[in-house]
Amino acid sequence: MSFNSINSTNRKVSIIAELYGDEEGEHRGIISALTELERLTPEKPLQYCLAIHHDFLTPLYDGDTQHYIYIETADKPLPCFYSYGREVHVGDTLSGIDPNFIADQITNRLRNNYKLTEFIYIKAIIKRRILFKQQHAPVIFFVN
């Protein structure tokens, strides 16, 4: 890509870098940047033809100086679970359903579960963790 932008006969190649768009906020990734990209389109007459996901960059072996573009990404499934309980009196906990207990059981089954490991070349990717857990009426959490 950089070779073509430097050696292009057209010389009208632009590269826009959007790094970690909203990754730690609403977990919307590039979707959060679409409004800005749409705003720039008429202003700069841009045509978007390629997007490279940069989140998983790693050498193939120690000392590897090559740059790789991965078609798939590692550790990107982000399941969401909604657990809803049944309210009971504080002294009668056995007659209800505790949504926190349900959420904890799901978390325990996902966290560091080797069966959910992704293998990319010789690397094992185990990064399941809770990103967000909320308790108001429902308990909602995201697992990465």
pLDDT digits (tens, 9 = 90+) for 47-98: 776 665 555 556 667 888 876 665 555 555 556 677 777 777 778 878 888 8
Q: Residue 140: helix, strand or coil by DSSP?
A: strand
- 74 and 118 in contact (C-beta within 8 Å)? yes
Q: Are the C-beta atoms of 143 and 131 separated by less than 8 Å?
A: yes
**122, 83 Cβ separation under 8 angstroms:** no
SS3 88: coil
Tokens of 64: 């590897």
Cα gap 26→20, rounded to integer Å: 12
Is this prediction's pTM over 0.85?
A: no
